[in-house]
Chain A
Amino acid sequence: MEEFLRAEHLHKVFSSGAEKFTAVDDVSLSLQHGEKLAIIGESGSGKTTVARIIARLIEPDGGRIILGGKDITKTKGRELRQVYGVMQMVFQNPVESFDPRWTLGDGICEGLLNHGYARAEADKECRRLLSMCGLEEDFARRYPYEVSGGQCQRAAIARALALSPKLLILDEATSALDVTVQAEVLSLLDSLHRELSMSYLFICHDIALVQDFCHRVMVMHQGKVVEEGNCDHVIRNPQQEYTKRLIDSVLQ
């Protein structure tokens, strides 16, 4: 396995007025081709911020992002569009990740159309993606406020898969799903992983799920990485006090 994504010394400081708040403090991570890396940590520990920095949605105050051997920290315009053909993200809040004035189908097709698909092809692909994620075709005509949170989340996963990315960042992408649907989505992700050797950056609260689904895990606390390693190893045998408390509190 070779390295696919590397983030080095990411920093992000949010300032509101005179107050400064370090949300991400010297976070480095690396992800191999076809690897599933989990990020866990309590609410507010900076997981989403790390994901958004890697996805080039917010500018870091320091650090580098290297994707497929290329530094994408400053990539813009057409090149960034190409990057998004390789890397996609499922957002934490699925309903807000769709334009309220657009149907889910239009939202899913947007990326396809931007990448040169014709309308008819895009529609066809959209139906295929929806059914792949366990939604009926007529969901394409619904608006985000007309579907349940879990259905919207599946549509969001369908949209993220539309451009057949090699890396998928999943920010709490399975937390709004009930156990059966969650299992379906995970098995879909698993088969994509096996067939296309997709890599996942999997942000999650559910430690049992992480242990089941991911190879490696990274524990974040107050913007810092406190522990990192093999899933089984870290979860069975946490070295840091914080990790112990986090795992205890969840497994109780």
Chain B
Amino acid sequence: MTGQRIPTVRKPKVRKNNLRLKLAFLACLALLLLLASFFSEYLTPYDPYLQDLTIAKAPPSSEHWLGTDRYGRDMLSRVIAGSRTSIFASLLLVGFIAVFGSLIGILCARSGKWLDTFLMRTADLFLAFPGLVFALAVAAVLGGGVHNAIFALAAISWPKYARLSRSQTLAISALPFMQAARMGGCGSLQLVWRHVLPNISGPILVTAMLDIGTMMMELAGLSFLGLGAKPPIPEWGSMMSETRNLLPTQPWITLAPGFAIFFSVMVFNLLGDTVRDYLDPKNRG
């Protein structure tokens, strides 16, 4: 069997083009969602807080596309307004923990043993809390509210990025090109900025993309349990929780925010998957 060559299969170019198309499509969808959440105030057809009990629990109609809730508030307006908290907050949250966690990880990998051990044990400590328990504790100490829910989620989610970037940085640091750069006169900061960051950003970006959907779910979940956004602030999780006993009789009231969560989580998860495939060197054409 010696000398037998393993045939290398060249991926057809079509595959790469399809991937690019898919990526562009999903990126556009995600961007639209983001813009909608950012400019939600201008997109709502009605004031999401405006109550009108005469039209309470109205089914979808030409005036109120998604019907109204039990106080007669327009559901479409509330779903759109809710995207601010749900999408925009998740995105900020993920962006923050990805940057913060990665910096900690790089610091661990590039610093001495003592600081490394200290920071990684701290990370383990946060990782050891089940998310819900931690959120409950935070809510108990600081009270509920969307800010505290985000804080709780950030506290238990950054260690993932610290671990990832630490292991990636260690792997990169062992490669000869880092030593060559050092002999080229790079200081520690230059090494990290020019050689480490560009080489580890791919996996971190993918993790972050996949995390956006997860964070949206968790944020909605915490709000559903009353630990996040408080009514009357429109937030998808708390809207579902608030209206869940209307599900048998007026399902649109509960389903509208539910579908909004489902759709946005799906878009961001698919986008994350596609970015991962796209960055995978095996798919490089």
Contact = CB atoms under 8 A, between A and B. Distances in A.
Interface of A: 52, 55, 57, 77, 81, 84-85, 88-89, 91-93, 96-101, 107, 110-111, 114-115, 156, 159
Interface string B170-192: 00000111011111111100100
Contact of A97 (B177, B186, B198): B177
B205 to A, nearest CB: 14
A55 B177 contact: no
A159 B180 contact: yes
Contacts of B183: 55, 57, 84, 88-89, 111
A159 B185 CA distance: 12
Contacts of B177: 96-100, 107
Name which of B177, B182, B199 has the most chain A CB atoms within 10 A of its CB: B177
A92 B198 CA distance: 24
Interface residues of B, number: 17
7 shortest interchain CB distances as A-B pairs? A111-B184, A114-B185, A97-B176, A81-B185, A91-B176, A110-B184, A99-B177
Given A91-B180, A101-B198, A107-B180, A96 B185 contact: no
Nearest to B195: A99
B185 A77 contact: no
B181 A93 contact: no
A81 B187 CA distance: 8
Nearest to B179: A57
A75 to B, nearest CB: 13
Nearest to B182: A57
Interface string B191-221: 0001100110000000000000000000000
Given A57-B179, A91-B179, A96-B176, A114 B199 contact: no
A98 B180 contact: yes
A101 B181 CA distance: 13
A84 B198 contact: no
A114 B179 contact: no
Contacts of B175: 96
Nearest to A98: B177
Contacts of B198: 101
B102 to A, nearest CB: 17
A93 B178 CA distance: 13
B182 A114 contact: no
A95 to B, nearest CB: 9
B184 A93 contact: no
A85 B184 CA distance: 8
Contacts of B195: 99
Given A100-B199, A101-B198, A101-B199, A110 B179 contact: no
B185 A93 contact: no
Nearest to B199: A101
13 contacts: A55-B183, A84-B182, A85-B185, A91-B176, A91-B180, A99-B195, A100-B199, A101-B198, A101-B199, A107-B180, A110-B194, A114-B184, A159-B180
A176 to B, nearest CB: 14
Name which of B176, B183, B194 has the most chain A CB atoms within 10 A of its CB: B183
Contacts of B182: 57, 84
Nearest to B174: A96
A159 B181 CA distance: 10
A115 B185 contact: yes
Contacts of B187: 77, 81
A93 B186 contact: no
Contacts of A111: 183-185
A72 B133 CA distance: 54
A96 B181 CA distance: 12
A250 to B, nearest CB: 23
Name which of B179, B180, B199 has the most chain A CB atoms within 10 A of its CB: B180
Contact of A110 (B176, B186, B199): B186
